[in-house]
Structure 1
């Protein structure tokens, strides 16, 4: 089955983890894929992997905290493929663990600039293109931290809570324009970010999961593809947890 033949997928934070899994899944399902990230070496490796499997791919270096990068990436994608049917706004970073009174303004701004402002800028340009072409689907990566508190993680949790509000509001703004907007809320997933967050002690993250294991990036990717597919056509404004019960 090739659910996305003839479709174009635009993915931020694509060089590793969930973004990488989503890029491979979209390509496997027949989509033309635009992959963006700040890390060029890993991006080039992913591009080569997709091309080796006969996929059509465009790799673009893009830092979502730089609005000019985002605007250029969306423009390059539409120049190459003509449209953007599915946008997966996945780029994000974790915070340095600290209680609120010890969070510096620079650290607060760093997290919000990438996780929230960066996603907002992506959405602005993606939605403008989708309005021109008559529709599309956006999925934003929030987190289980978007619906619960995290000790030592106020900046990250604030950014992910805000993403849900942004998602729901945009869903209402464009519901009659054939544009759907949803969010995926991953739990503790086997990614480089999780390695950094736990300092390499993955068992700490496993112990937080009711199901007794970490999630796989591919499991998040499958949820994203479902939301972007025709099977999810009646779903907009949803914040869907894929977290093994962590947020419970």
Structure 2
């Protein structure tokens, strides 16, 4: 009974809810901090329950305003169930941060590796589609919602260093965002593709040949998270289709 009363009180008092995928590290964890700090309740999704718990423990919100929904974005049924559970808990989904993504070491055509390339497409593209589809129904019912997709500089321009499957998946994600603005604006839904260059995340540090010392000179996860929050808080009559940002170009000798 106590659990039922708590669920009811949470859904009655929450006014804004953000669902963040890939929330266990990097940009996703920074988004969790940004939205929680701005007064949103946050629904956090990633594959690792343990990593999600570590992020949640750092957030400046009451436990009733944070809920963990572990799951893999490639599992369509699980993602659909998570969206339904978020609505049952919070009553709505105001913002989707569609952030889960990965890359692999073998990135060139002369290193073609179907198994790893398929994983990139399954997560970055099909997984993103699964999350979008799951969030659409509640946002349509609300007649409002903002979807913010973590694309990439490689999703706007060709970037050889990012790799073939990653660039293809992120270009597709940028176009998916544009299609949402074209087709779902009538339902009050807005969509933005964030296209950052190098961001100091665990994904970047695994890039072949990356100099770890450069991490302090590139975009920080908090920069992207702050941008996402700004987009979410904008006039609901404004659709920001995409934002491209890059690290400042500095002399290689500068420290």
TM-score bracket, normalised by the shorter chain, equals: 0.7 to 0.9
2:199 maps to 1:196: no
1:164 aligned partner: 174
For the residue of structure 1 that corresponds to 2:207, the secondary structure is helix
Structure-1 separation of matches of 2:49 and 2:208: 25
Deviations, residues 77-136 of structure 1 (Å, cap 9, x unaligned): 111101000000000001223321432222221100000110111101101110112211
2:51 aligned partner: 42
1:155 aligned partner: 165
Q: Which runs of no fewer than 5 residues in structure 2 stay unpaired?
A: 1-13, 250-255
Change (3 A) 1:113 1:242: same
For the residue of structure 1 that corresponds to 2:104, the secondary structure is coil
Structure-2 separation of matches of 1:108 and 1:216: 27
User: Which segment is superposed worse, 139-148 or 222-231?
Assistant: 222-231
Tell whether the 8 Å contact from 1:227 to 1:233 is kept in structure 2 after alignment: no
2:244 maps to 1:241: yes
TM-score by length of 2: 0.85
2:66 aligned partner: 57
Structure-2 separation of matches of 1:166 and 1:28: 29
Tell whether the 8 Å contact from 2:153 to 2:159 is kept in structure 1 after alignment: no
Tell whether the 8 Å contact from 1:226 to 1:232 is kept in structure 2 after alignment: no
**Which of 86, 89, 94 pairs up with 1:80?**
89
Change (3 A) 1:233 1:245: farther
- Give the drift of 1:53: 4.3
User: Which segment is superposed worse, 217-226 or 191-200?
Assistant: 191-200
For the residue of structure 1 that corresponds to 2:195, the secondary structure is strand
Tell whether the 8 Å contact from 1:142 to 1:185 is kept in structure 2 after alignment: yes
1:209 aligned partner: none
Tell whether the 8 Å contact from 2:48 to 2:70 is kept in structure 1 after alignment: yes
Q: Provide the aligned C-alpha RMSD in A.
A: 1.9
Deviations, residues 190-213 of structure 1 (Å, cap 9, x unaligned): 11111112566224x56xxxxx92
Query: Matches of residues 186-225 of structure 1 in structure 2 within 5 Å?
Result: 186-198=196-208, 201-203=211-213, 213-225=217-229
- Give the drift of 1:68: 1.6
Query: Matches of residues 102-113 of structure 1 in structure 2 within 5 Å?
Result: 102-113=111-122
1:173 aligned partner: 183
Tell whether the 8 Å contact from 2:181 to 2:239 is kept in structure 1 after alignment: no
Q: Which runs of no fewer than 5 residues in structure 1 stay unpaired?
A: 207-211
User: Which segment is superposed worse, 95-104 or 33-42?
Assistant: 95-104
TM-score by length of 1: 0.88
